[in-house]
Amino acid sequence: MQAQAQYSYKGLVTDAETGDPIPFASVGLKGVNSGGTTNFQGFYSFQSKVASDSLFVSMVGYTRRTKSVDKSPGMHEVDFQVKPSSADLSEVKVYSGENPAFRILRAIQANKSRNDRIQMAAYEYDSYAKMELDVDNISEQFKGKKVMQDIASSIKKFEQQAGEDGKLLIPTYITETVSKFYYLESPRRRREHILKTNIKGVGMGEGGLISQLVGGNLVTNYNFYQNFISFFGKDFASPIGEQWKQTYTYYLLDTVQVEGRTCYQIEFEPKNPADLTYTGQMWIDTTQFALTQIDATVGKAANLNFIEKVKISQELEQTETGVWLPARTRFLIDLEEISKGSAGMLLKMYISNKNFVINKPHPLPFYDRTSEVATNARDANPEYWKNARHESLSRQDLLAFSMIDSVKSVPIVRTYVEIADVVLGGHRTFKDMDVGPYISGLAINQIEGARVRLGFRTNALFDSSWIFRGHASFGTKDLIPKYSGEVNYLFSKSKWTVAGIKHSYELERVGLTPDLIGDNKLFYAFTRWGSFSGAFFRRDSEAFFSTEFIRGFRLTGSMNMRSFDPLFRFQYRLQPELGMDSPVQDHYNDTFFTFEARFAKNETFILNGNEKVTLATRRIPVLTFRYQQGLKGVLGGDFNYHRFTLKAYQTFRLGKYGRSDYTLLAGYTPSNLPAPLLFPHLGNETFMFVRSAFSTMNYFEFVSDRFASLQFNHNFEGLFFNRIPLIKKLKWRFIVSTNVLYGSQRTSNRALMQEVNQPMDSRYLDRYDFDSLDPKIPFVEVGYGIDNIFKLFRLQAFHRLSYLDHGNPDLFRLMGSINFHF
């Protein structure tokens, strides 16, 4: 009797388009009941006592491949590159009665409380992450260009590595990370402490936005026990979520051995491929009904933009408590080419976790820093990485590292990466300085004529603590230079403590200043075009200090001196009790102190050099409270006053019905002030939709000294259009909006702005009533429209439902916007 089989087979199975290993694929001998399954690295190995002349590989979502093999005894090494395709269900047998997979899905839900990691109080583990950014879909015509000749030999090596059926990829960026990941359930906290990084890339400045995405667990720590898996700001229904039966079709394929465990192998596919769902396979433990492995793909038919494919493969490991944690994860995004003949981009991430520590939480302040990079993270030598990696680099990884230096000489590759950085950050980087934002570079309006603006800011390469910003602008008509300058010092990144001073002289518009519009830089740039009504010059000096002393809780204090010099007919009474005999003034100076508290629980962010970029918040609203006190007689201030505002913002999922967001805003001032210092409500006379504005309200139409408003938006995603033949291919999304505003002005504030018999000198004839709302009648408007037209545009109609005869309003307004989203 032979001690071992005479025929041995091994090899690597990879995706022909991405070069990524394919885990969980079935490999076997044709006509012989002998085979194996690829591991998480895509390798297979098995033995057989019987020979065959053909070896096949099979995997859901890929074309079945067969290769001839020699029937002689010994070791046979055969690699496969398999091409993606729609799932082939021709071999699935469906019997009458209940689907046998349903019993297993119900058991998964019943055992969720003991298997889902969310049941643990805390956990932590050691993690290794690798991220690679490639240029793909490279045509033969492009490879023949002169600029490619310098890396021709490297390209040839990559083509050989890809295999006879593989597709050429040019790596542009690779990073390795060794980190510690910590999770606390209540209150929910996550922290990733990056110990070492190995970064090699084309056109990537250290501290740039893309180069900050070095960790893996903050963005790919997917939990399929949740009802929805979120990425790209979208929510994808989990195949083991509570809505499994309404969303997916299931096929029980077999029971197989997975790492010594007997598992059910279940295939799943969406009932509607256009919905935000997955296609793939999962393996469920037959005794504990726990998810042990899953391979899930989002295809091109899904209601996503610029995406060829998204793929998540995950292997889970049972901990000492019985709960399962992800041991290995692969995440892939294949971005389609921007135009015909151009190249696409491919992002691949691999995360390996081990040394799990369960239910040993740290003190709450330990979790305050979401992401932290050790000061010596870039100091590791090659020997360190040989021991730190959880698995050795593959042949393809080694070749990718060696090719990066060659690729740096290719202009188009560098251009692609730089465009990504500009799109994400809005600025163009020149060594230690960023120039921009480009959307504000040019404007044409009635007062300034052609306005040209040039702005800059220093980045982390200039200094990790000192930050300088500024801009200069000039109009060809008014010939008045405008400018700003700012100096910040970043004391602590862990508590994000920063202080600074700034000074500016700029032409602004009542109710449309940056402090009222907020972070919507595109809308602010748009308001600088056209008639430019309500214009005034403002000189502003500010000193501020801000700190996030508790994670998610930020305090800011500032002192400002501002002037208001209007270019329209404006006056306010200095002694309104004298009525028409009151002296008036057509300008003012405002000195004030501001205190702001912002609470954003579970907020995640990344560091873009010495800038902080917020990604998202979870569960509860973001709350902001602001108190402002005017200081009369201090540095020329004309008013004593108190001003209070409270804001709540939240975005949340409504199951399969899409995603909503709302903004609740309230303000109150007990003081008598000129209208611009009260609460001018943000109107919108442009054709550009802005969430924070009232779309059928004119500029400066209403001003309040006390108010409350609700702005609600809901995106049904593809709920309706995905179910209409032909239309669903357009990937349109239906949206609705409702805006409601209650407000009023006291009689004393209205009297303050009444004209007197003294004519005001002004070369501009426009004048604004700064009228008030009736406290018993709200301002109401509703909107509806289509999002994602040509993957870029939003078109929305708004109807004004109240104050129909106030001024000269537009009762119906059609608005559009440009939205770059997935």
Q: How far is CA 749 from CA 574, 589, 647, 752, 756, in A?
A: 12, 18, 24, 5, 15
Contact 125, 325 (CB under 8 A): yes
The SS3 call for residue 524 is helix
Strands (E), 464-552: 466-475, 481-492, 497-509, 535-550
Strands 584-585 and 572-573: antiparallel
The answer to whether the Cα torsion of 383, 387, 389, 393 is positive or negative is positive
User: According to the model, what pLDDT value does residue 509 have?
Assistant: 87
CA–CA separation, 705 vs 742, rounded Å?
A: 11
| Residues in Cβ contact with 576 at an 8 Å cutoff, skipping those fewer than 6 apart | 582, 672, 748, 751, 752, 754
Phi, psi of 343 (to 5 degrees): -95, 160
Q: Would the CA dihedral through 366, 368, 371, 372 be positive or negative?
A: negative
pLDDT digits (tens, 9 = 90+) for 648-696: 999 887 777 888 899 999 999 999 999 999 999 988 887 888 888 899 9
Q: How far apart are CA 255 and CA 98, in angstroms?
A: 18
Q: Are 807 and 794 in contact (CB under 8 A)?
A: no
Pick the CATH number of 7-82 from 1.20.58.1910, 3.90.1200.10, 2.60.40.3880, 2.60.40.1120: 2.60.40.1120
Is the separation of the CB atoms in 495 and 548 below 8 Å? Answer: yes
Cα distance between residue 356 and residue 127, in whole Å: 10
pLDDT score for 505: 96
**Structure token pair of residue 326:** 């992800």
Compute the CA torsion angle 576, 582, 583, 586 (nearest 10 deg).
Answer: 50
CATH of domain 426-818: 2.40.160.50
**Quick one: which of 225, 215, 176, 179 has its CA closest to 326?**
225
Given CA atoms 731, 301, 228, 552 in this order, what sign does their dihedral have? Answer: negative
CA distances in angstroms from 814 to 103, 248, 358, 517, 696, listed in the order given: 51, 38, 55, 21, 10
- 133-178, pLDDT tens digit by residue? 887 766 666 666 655 555 665 566 666 555 555 566 777 778 888 9
Q: Which 3 state secondary structure label does DSSP give 399?
A: helix
**Do residues 495 and 368 lie in contact, with contact meaning Cβ atoms separated by under 8 Å?**
yes
Cβ atoms 202, 173 nearer than 8 A: yes
Q: Is 164 exposed, middle or buried (0-12, 13-18, 19+ CB in 10 A)?
A: exposed
Rounded to whole angstroms, the maximal C-alpha distance in the chain is 119
What integer pLDDT is reported at residue 30 of this predicted model? 86
Q: How far apart are CA 751 and CA 760, in angstroms?
A: 17
pTM, two decimal places: 0.70
The CB-based long-range contact list for 554-558 (8 Å cut-off, 24+ gap) reads 554/496, 554/596, 554/597, 554/598, 554/599, 554/600, 555/595, 555/596, 555/597, 556/594, 556/595, 556/596, 556/597, 556/598, 557/593, 557/594, 557/595, 557/596, 558/593, 558/594
**pLDDT score, position 200:** 77
The one-character DSSP state at 730 is G
Nearest CA to 811 out of 803, 819, 799 is that of: 799
Distances (CA, A) of 124 to 528, 550, 633: 50, 21, 57
What pLDDT, on a 0 to 100 scale, did the predictor assign at position 110?
A: 93
Which pLDDT belongs to residue 735?
Answer: 92
- How far is it, in rounded angstroms, from Cα 376 to Cα 756? 69
Cα–Cα nearest to 321, from 137, 116, 154, 467: 116
Number of separate helices (H) and strands (E) present in the chain: 12, 45
**Token pair of 727 as six digits:** 């239309």
Helix (H) or strand (E) holding 752: helix 747-752
Pairing of strands 54-58, 26-29: antiparallel
Cα distance between residue 117 and residue 123, in whole Å: 9
Reduced 3-state DSSP string for 249-275: EEEEEEEEEECCEEEEEEEEEECCCCC
Where are the chain's structural domains? 7-82, 426-818
Residue with tokens 């770059």: 820
Q: How far is CA 347 from CA 133, 210, 308, 311, 574, in A?
A: 5, 11, 12, 11, 63
In whole angstroms, give the CA distance from residue 309 to residue 304: 10
pLDDT < 70 stretches in the chain = 1-5, 86-96, 137-168, 202-219, 232-233, 303, 305, 337-343, 369, 371, 375, 380, 405-426, 519-520, 602, 604-610, 613-619, 756-767, 819-822
Find the helix or strand (DSSP H, E) in which 181 lies: strand 170-184
For residue 282, the model assigns a pLDDT of: 93
Task: Give CA–CA dist 220/238, Å, rounded.
Answer: 15
